[in-house]
């Protein structure tokens, strides 16, 4: 039986697409203005995210305690709500569509490790939240997942595979439990 050997771990192939000075500056800005629970307006947070390369639309609402790994790999549409203590762990491109809602404590996770290899290699996969998606509180979206238009991932659920449009998903791993019907 083979065993994990972390002494052989090597992710030298991975690049966050920014130099060490930019990454260090972002760590400080993220801690002081984005992740902080001191109330800074969404406008200030959007300013700093854009300054570091994020593409952000209008009317974005960012609550306290949010953490963004690499803003230069983030695209956020119009009228998006990002709740308290959301962690956008974007090691690669992450796109959030218009009118999406990411509730408190949710995690967008673009990286993982290959447990089938002795070296425990890093695996990355982008995340796409299309228009009108709702990610519930404490829910997790895993690497490579696309949450199609107006899909919902309920509280505490884990999306390991793509979510169909206008569908509600629940559980770990999340499974489709019903259609999302929108009232007028």
Establish if 40 belongs to a structural domain: yes
Establish if 8 belongs to a structural domain: no
Establish if 78 belongs to a structural domain: yes
Neighbours of 62 (CB within 10 A): 25
Establish if 142 belongs to a structural domain: yes
CATH number of the structural domain spanning residue 22: 2.160.10.10
- Res. 184 pLDDT band, cuts 50 70 90: confident
Tokens representing residue 174 in the block: 């999340």
- Res. 1 pLDDT band, cuts 50 70 90: confident
Tokens representing residue 22 in the block: 């930019």
Question: How far is Cα 74 from Cα 182, in angstroms, rounded to an integer?
Answer: 29
- Res. 49 pLDDT band, cuts 50 70 90: very high
Establish if 7 belongs to a structural domain: no
- Name the percent of the chain lying above pLDDT 90: 97
Q: What is the pLDDT of residues 149-162, one digit of tens each?
A: 999 999 999 999 99
Dump strand ranges (E) for 94-166.
94-96, 101-102, 107-109, 111-113, 122-124, 127-129, 134-135, 140-141, 146-147, 152-153, 158-159
Number of domains in the chain: 1
Establish if 127 belongs to a structural domain: yes
Q: What is the pLDDT of residues 113-139, one digit of tens each?
A: 999 999 999 999 999 999 999 999 999
Cis peptide before 123 (omega within 30 of 0): no
Establish if 173 belongs to a structural domain: yes
Q: What is the pLDDT of residues 90-115, one digit of tens each?
A: 999 999 999 999 999 999 999 999 99
For residue 127, what are the β-bridge partners?
A: 94
For residue 153, what are the β-bridge partners?
A: 135, 169
Establish if 71 belongs to a structural domain: yes
Q: Which of these, 107, 156, 151, lies nearest to 132 by C-alpha position? A: 151
Question: How far is Cα 6 from Cα 21, in angstroms, rounded to an integer?
Answer: 28
Q: CA separation (Å) from 78 to 46, 49, 55, 101, 110?
A: 12, 15, 10, 11, 22
- Domain range for 145 is 18-179
Task: Give me the pLDDT at residue 22, please.
Answer: 98
Question: What SS3 class is residue 43?
Answer: helix
Going 159 to 160 to 166 to 167, the CA torsion angle's sign is negative
Task: Give me the pLDDT at residue 74, please.
Answer: 98
- pLDDT at 47 > cutoff 90: yes
The pLDDT mean for the chain works out to 97
């Amino acid at each position: 039986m083979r065993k994990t050997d972390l002494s052989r771990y090597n992710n030298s192939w991975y690049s966050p697409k920014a130099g060490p000075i930019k990454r260090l500056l972002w760590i400080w800005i993220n801690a002081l203005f984005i992740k902080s629970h001191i109330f800074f307006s969404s406008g200030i947070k959007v300013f700093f995210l854009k300054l570091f390369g994020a593409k952000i639309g209008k009317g974005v609402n960012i609550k306290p305690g949010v953490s963004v790994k690499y803003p230069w790999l983030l695209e956020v549409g119009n009228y998006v709500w990002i709740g308290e203590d959301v962690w956008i762990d974007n090691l690669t491109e992450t796109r959030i569509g218009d009118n999406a809602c990411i509730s408190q404590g949710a995690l967008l996770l673009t990286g993982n490790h290959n447990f089938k290899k002795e070296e425990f290699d890093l695996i990355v996969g982008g995340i796409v939240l299309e228009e009108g998606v709702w990610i519930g509180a404490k829910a997790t979206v895993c690497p490579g997942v696309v949450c199609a238009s107006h899909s919902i991932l309920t509280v505490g659920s884990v999306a390991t595979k793509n979510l169909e449009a206008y569908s509600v998903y629940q559980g770990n791993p999340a499974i489709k439990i019903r259609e999302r019907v929108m009232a007028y």
